[in-house]
Amino acid sequence: MPVESLKRKRLRMTDILSLLKLQYPDSKCSLNYNSPFQLLVATVLSAQCTDERVNKVVVPLFDKYPAPDDFTQLTVAEIGKEIYSTGFYNNKAKSIKGLSHALVDEFEGEVPSTMSELVNLPGVGRKTANVVLGNIFDVPGVVVDTHVTRITNLLGFTKSKNAVIIERELEKIIKEKDWTLFTHLIIDHGRAICVANRPNCAECTISQFCPSAT
């Protein structure tokens, strides 16, 4: 099979995005939050956990502890008890307490708006930073989660499983204005049609552009 040129990838991606935008016109971040800090915490909790489960946890959590100051008053064990059902609760609790202290001590309780500042917060990597930047500060970024990794491999846009490599490859073929929306569209498609281990290619609107379609 001939190697697909960058130009052809861009054209194919444009067609795919056009169809996905029609199929999921209300596509957006599915995490519940009422502030930049709450989205930051919810995204930390979403690691290896479904958004549905995270949302069940954060509604009562943020009712009791809405701001960074509130979490600095809690122990790691207390935070862990609140977020237990999201999995890996001890590491997540340490991250949440650490980033809360950092926000209070270094940013007057406000979430910073740059990648370099965000990734220096405890427990915050590029994925989490891009979620916050794209959905709060309108700074375009490609969020690479499990859906994006799996589906972009199936679509033949990457052969990598490395999130940073995938992010860089996708940035070259997606228009910058669509970087943030792309992730939401792929997540919606991954939940509805291109489900892991049982993709419904017969009902897939983008199957004509997918080399893995059966």
Catalytic residues: 127, 145
Please enumerate in sequence order all residues whose Cβ is within 8 A of that of 87, keeping only pairs 6 or more positions apart, or say none: 48, 49
Asked if 92 and 45 touch (Cβ cutoff 8 Å), the reply is yes
Give CA–CA dist 157/112, Å, rounded. 32
Give CA–CA dist 212/124, Å, rounded. 33
Rg, the chain, Cα only: 18
